[in-house]
A and B are shown apart, each in its own frame.
Chain A
Amino acid sequence: MDHPLALYIHWPFCLAKCPYCDFNSHVRERIDQARFGRALRTELAWEAVRLGRRPLASIFFGGGTPSLMAPETVAELIADATHLFAPAPDLEITLEANPTSVEAGRLAAFRAAGVNRVSLGVQSLNPEDLRLLGRQHSTAQAVAALELARGLFPRISFDLIYARPGQTLAAWRAELRQALELAADHLSLYQLTIEPGTGFEALHRRGELVLPDDDTAAALYDATGEEAAKFGLAPYEVSNYARPGSESRHNLAYWRYADYAGIGPGAHGRISLDGALLATRRHRAPEPWAERVERSGHGSTTEEPVAPPDRAREMLLMGLRLTEGIAEDRFAARTGMALDDALDAQTLARALEEGYLARAGGVLRALPEGRKRLDALLAELVA
């Protein structure tokens, strides 16, 4: 039985590096669109050869800023993918876009290329915070882009970042309500965290950027869920909220620890191949990646089979992020380990008792109180 595939395509370039972002993104004065488009197509074809014509469930253009890609390249990559694999009838094709006017101007072309879901990097509706976060767009542009996208795409989502310096509970509730009124079917609502190597990390270290404490962050998180619920959006993952049926199918593949192929610089994959589960990784830096692809057809660095205990850890750390939790039979089938063998029994018992976890009907899931503390929980729960 062929595993359905989620396909991730990475566009590594941004107009500017945002100070909170630790993703694999690069700023270049000039980008050779044709060259990187060609290289992505080459690598996609190379991956397809070894994967065979599997069912294709989703395509996700991420970055970087994929809305900076030439729409023709997006169209070519979609055409290639649907040709090389067996597209599902409800194939989900998402593209991440920034709401600057330039990029908004290309939304129609992306739609024409086949993109049927767009995820906009709005991040805030507060002009001051947009500046703090280093964003290139204004609140008005964000609202305009959302309205435009709503007319063009059957499904839209956007991102917001909260727990910003000095942000009060009341201010966040108001901002979030304003966002929810913009009527997306899906929202990604992220707590601002300090990541190593970012601009914010340096500020934070010097005490120039002070984030809300854990108790405030927890209160903001709880408020986020409450407000989203009022608009019919349910939390289906730690930071993702959707109307039932509007969940990101592509991202669900990650959290369900299903197969996904990643192409483009720095892209990761987990693919079932010849009975093994392979962890794949591409060279991170864009130009050397492209050179490798041009030389040998792909930009892979290391590829390693993931051993059962590691699979178990990966599936736990992803699966417990989901409200739906982890089905024990799927866990055993995917990892080769029984769920109980992967867990510390004492912690499990205490976590069940404490209301952090629930186990019923062959499913282990994290309850809201457990999801809020998932990192600490995993550190003790994973055997």
Chain B
Amino acid sequence: MTDTPIDRIRNFSIIAHIDHGKSTLADRLIQATGGLSAREMTEQVLDNMDLEKERGITIKAQTVRLTYKAKDGLDYTLNLMDTPGHVDFAYEVSRSLAACEGSLLVVDASQGVEAQTLANVYQAIEAGHEIVPILNKVDLPAAEPEKVKQQIEDVIGLDASDAVMISAKTGLNIEGVLEALVTRLPPPKGDPDAPLKALVVDSWYDQYLGVVILIRVKDGRIRRGQKVRMMARGSAHSVEQVGVFTPRMVAVDDLGPGEMGYITAAIKTVADVAVGDTIIDDRNPAAEPLPGFKPSIPVVWCGLYPVDADDFEKLRESLAKLRLNDASFHYEAETSAALGFGFRCGFLGLLHLEIIQERLQREFDLDLIATAPSVVYRVHRTSGEVEELHNPADMPDPSQIDHIEEPWIKATIMVPDDYLGAILTLCSERRGQQVDLTYVGNRAMAVYRLPLNEVVFDFYDRLKSVSRGYASFDYQMDGYAESDLVRISILVNGDLVDALSFIAHRSQAERRGRSICEKLKDLIPRQLFKIAIQAAIGGRVIARETIGALSKDVTAKCYGGDISRKRKLLEKQKEGKKRMRQFGKVEIPQSAFLAALKMDA
């Protein structure tokens, strides 16, 4: 299997905005090279999880090894690396890119370049990639290939004159893409005789094989039975299986420089395998790791609680199962006075949070209450201690706080000119600092520094709504800075609902407090008694709303024949109430917890 000379290997990834046709193109490439028969092709082979298919995003990196007889008459091995496609997984993307020498930049010929594409293409350029622009959907009436080519040159600074014009959907000019891969991308470099160095691109859990590690060999060879070591982790494993994806898993004897494939080594959980780590030979270890390793650190945290307290153990088991396959997400048990026993969970970003929540509900059939997402603050105590705070409930008394730092991001937003005003307003409302503003054709690119906590609640939603969906957004973490932050508590009939507490900048506190009180007023149905909702900083109430009592709720007809039924109904109601979350005798529907914290301007 490893008989392809290194100069006939091409490793490439596909960069594209959601919906611009990445998965469809990947399918066509697999089909055209005979990786799968037509019968085996299901729509979008590469996205394994239902969720991935539904959302059109890729969560795990994957590879496919294609064999292509080029026009020069030679057989080439083309390794397609499918990268995760979202800002939350920027680091994972960077590792996938590091495993390739080139990229196909797929741009929708009617939509043009989007912010997400831009961020990834810059990453690819940084990774030293040769980039081949592909214009997709050129067959559509709205296609403007010349304009988009110009845009690629203006915005990205890439020569797009040789862009390959295709329609992935109809299969138009797939051959052109394959030829471009062979002729325009460089072959990988590597020394087969040097000590082994292989990059961990990604890993996932397979119930039969244990952890499957997706690797790219840089130097040396990796073979079955070999004892290898994870350089950053320090753990040693015996390689059980080496293989490639065609896209089916096919075992091979070994993998050499430039090759992509997988190994298994009786590893039980992906937490033992760090993305970006370097695999070396235990007996003949390479001295230097591959560059760019970073441990993954959650940036957004929230509490997850079972609606039914009896589901706590089930939630714990489900989280453990999910973590088997996703080491980037963290959880630890916590308790809330309002919600009982649950877990504080850390995520790479908001999308990651949503995905995990959705999988818990869908795959494990759990009803969950999620508390407001929080970023990780750095609290400097007067005593000089510094601690990381990711639950507003844990914020120390103000008298013990010297100062607090909050994380910032650098955000790139691309938007048609017409909506620029609204976007700039949104960014400045969210305490944004403009870094750069440039225009390309009728599109603007705004670069802002923004506090992450202004983004975690509903920034995406707002961005979409003020730009009618035309703005695209990408970000990277950009350090910490001191900030005047306060904790806002929410009280229902005088009782603190700790799960609704949140941290905000002092300048935003009153507006946010008012907004959440108004939201809760709409979200909490009228009940027997009127309900007082208050937002407070410490003991000072900054906002207040009252939900009036329900106006009428009484059975019109109730006679001798109705007593038994009415009594049973009453008993059922009582039983139902016992299972509900009550705060000061007020039932708060689970939907209220997250929805309450979304802000409308």
User: How distant is A336 from chain B, measured CB to nearest CB, in Å?
Assistant: 16
Chain B CB within 8 A of A218 CB: yes
Cβ contact within 8 Å between B564 and A376: no
Chain A CB within 8 A of B157 CB: no
Scan residues 532-559 of chain B and give those whose CB is less than 8 A from a CB of chain A.
549-559
Can you name the residue of chain A whose Cβ is closest to the Cβ of B560? A254
C-alpha spacing A190/B562, complex, angstroms: 15
Central interface residue in A24, A318, A377, by most chain B CB within 10 Å: A318
C-alpha spacing A269/B558, complex, angstroms: 14
Cβ contact within 8 Å between B570 and A382: yes
Chain B CB within 8 A of A117 CB: no
Interface size on B, residues (CB 8 A): 27
Chain A window 238-274, contacts with chain B (Cβ cutoff 8 Å), 1 for yes, 0 for no: 1100000000000101100000101000111110000
Chain A residues, CB < 8 A from B556: 190-193, 238-239
Chain B CB within 8 A of A217 CB: yes
Chain B residues, CB < 8 A from A314: 563, 566-567
Chain B residues, CB < 8 A from A378: 570
Cβ contact within 8 Å between B553 and A8: no
Chain B CB within 8 A of A35 CB: no
Chain B CB within 8 A of A83 CB: no
C-alpha spacing A193/B552, complex, angstroms: 12
Say yes or no: A318-B563 contact (C-beta < 8 A), given A354-B529, A373-B528.
Answer: yes
Q: CB within 8 A of B559: which of A254, A266, A313, A382? A: A254
Chain B residues, CB < 8 A from A350: 529, 585
Chain B residues, CB < 8 A from A179: none
Chain B residues, CB < 8 A from A23: 561
Chain B residues, CB < 8 A from A253: 560
User: How distant is B149 from chain A, measured CB to nearest CB, in Å?
Assistant: 52
Cβ contact within 8 Å between A380 and B577: yes
Chain B CB within 8 A of A292 CB: no
Scan residues 494-534 of chain B and give those whose CB is less than 8 A from a CB of chain A.
526-529
Can you name the residue of chain B whose Cβ is closest to the Cβ of A60? B560
Cβ contact within 8 Å between A373 and B561: no
C-alpha spacing A314/B566, complex, angstroms: 8
Chain A residues, CB < 8 A from B399: none
C-alpha spacing A166/B252, complex, angstroms: 76
Say yes or no: A379-B577 contact (C-beta < 8 A), given A193-B555, A373-B528.
Answer: yes
Chain B CB within 8 A of A281 CB: yes
Say yes or no: A266-B561 contact (C-beta < 8 A), given A317-B566, A377-B528, A380-B585.
Answer: yes
Can you name the residue of chain A whose Cβ is closest to the Cβ of B576? A379
Scan residues 344-383 of chain A and give those whose CB is less than 8 A from a CB of chain B.
346-347, 350, 354, 356, 371-380, 382
Chain A CB within 8 A of B574 CB: yes
Cβ contact within 8 Å between B552 and A270: no
Say yes or no: A279-B557 contact (C-beta < 8 A), given A313-B571, A378-B570.
Answer: no
C-alpha spacing A314/B559, complex, angstroms: 11
C-alpha spacing A350/B585, complex, angstroms: 11
Chain A window 218-236, contacts with chain B (Cβ cutoff 8 Å), 1 for yes, 0 for no: 1001000000000000000
User: How distant is B584 from chain A, measured CB to nearest CB, in Å?
Assistant: 10
Can you name the residue of chain B whose Cβ is closest to the Cβ of A353? B529
Chain A CB within 8 A of B573 CB: yes
Cβ contact within 8 Å between A374 and B554: yes
User: How distant is B556 from chain A, measured CB to nearest CB, in Å?
Assistant: 4
Cβ contact within 8 Å between A279 and B564: yes
Cβ contact within 8 Å between B563 and A270: yes
Cβ contact within 8 Å between A8 and B585: no
User: How distant is B530 from chain A, measured CB to nearest CB, in Å?
Assistant: 8
Cβ contact within 8 Å between A317 and B553: no
User: How distant is B566 from chain A, measured CB to nearest CB, in Å?
Assistant: 5
Cβ contact within 8 Å between A268 and B574: no
Cβ contact within 8 Å between B559 and A251: yes
Cβ contact within 8 Å between A238 and B554: yes
Can you name the residue of chain A whose Cβ is closest to the Cβ of B565? A268
Cβ contact within 8 Å between B563 and A268: yes
Cβ contact within 8 Å between A373 and B560: no
Chain B residues, CB < 8 A from A239: 556-557
Chain B CB within 8 A of A2 CB: no
C-alpha spacing A6/B561, complex, angstroms: 13
Scan residues 1-52 of chain A and give those whose CB is less than 8 A from a CB of chain B.
6, 8, 23-24
Chain A residues, CB < 8 A from B566: 314, 317
User: How distant is A370 from chain B, measured CB to nearest CB, in Å?
Assistant: 9
Cβ contact within 8 Å between A373 and B563: no
Cβ contact within 8 Å between B567 and A317: yes
C-alpha spacing A190/B564, complex, angstroms: 21
Cβ contact within 8 Å between B563 and A214: no
Chain B CB within 8 A of A340 CB: no
User: How distant is A322 from chain B, measured CB to nearest CB, in Å?
Assistant: 11
User: How distant is B141 from chain A, measured CB to nearest CB, in Å?
Assistant: 39
Give the B-binding residues of A (Cβ under 8 A): 6, 8, 23-24, 190-193, 214-215, 217-218, 221, 238-239, 251, 253-254, 260, 262, 266-270, 279, 281, 310, 313-314, 317-318, 321, 346-347, 350, 354, 356, 371-380, 382
| 22 A-B contacts (beta carbon < 8 Å) | A8-B560, A8-B561, A23-B561, A24-B561, A191-B552, A192-B556, A238-B556, A238-B558, A239-B557, A253-B560, A268-B564, A270-B560, A354-B549, A371-B554, A373-B549, A373-B550, A373-B552, A373-B553, A376-B527, A377-B528, A379-B577, A380-B585
5 additional contacts, CB 8 Å, given A215-B551, A267-B561, A373-B554?
A251-B559, A270-B560, A318-B558, A377-B528, A379-B573
Give the A-binding residues of B (Cβ under 8 A): 526-529, 549-561, 563-564, 566-567, 570-571, 573-574, 577, 585
Considering the complex of A and B, which 8 residue pairs feature the smallest CB-CB distances, nearest first?
A218-B551, A218-B552, A374-B554, A190-B556, A254-B560, A379-B573, A376-B528, A376-B553
